[in-house]
Amino acid sequence: MDLVLRTVFVFILILLVTRAVGRRELSSMEPFDLILLVVIGDMVQQGVTQSDYSLTGTTIVIATLAAMVVGTAYLSYRFKRLRPLLEGEPTLLISDGRLLERNLRRERMTVEEIRSEARQQSIASLEDIRYAVLETNGKISFITR
């Protein structure tokens, strides 16, 4: 039972940390970030299992994590009010061609990042954009004029 409680705690902690870090940062990982993620995964594993390397302990942890993932997906599906908390909400970055500075600051994004994303989608100028939305997966959707 101790392993289940530890796994639930770590799952909630990871959910909170990923929400705090922000979508944009998670979608654009550098090699260092990937290595850091692996190191964090190892630390989490040691914290959850308390160096219990048994097959039973591993099975309990994996089953608990799977149940938590399925449970949060079900809660998000079943209760609309929980979706913003569990999945996040899209953020409008450009509206009618105007940059929304407040939303850019909240998402810790620069105008240069918007321009770079626009260029990657073959949009030459920000003036050509009617709406830009930072989706919950960290990608930016553009609607041109």
Judge: domain 91-144, CATH 3.30.240.20.
yes
User: What would the two tokens of residue 133 be?
Assistant: 């939305």
d(C-alpha 29, C-alpha 119), whole Å: 19
Interval 17-76: pLDDT, tens: 777 766 555 555 666 666 767 777 777 777 777 777 677 777 788 788 888 888 888 998
- Domain extents in the chain: 2-87, 91-144
The answer to whether the CB of 2 falls within 8 A of the CB of 57 is no
| Confidence (pLDDT) at 44 | 75
| Confidence (pLDDT) at 73 | 86
pTM above 0.75, yes or no: no
Q: Which residues contact 135 (CB under 8 A, 6 or more apart)?
A: 23, 90, 141
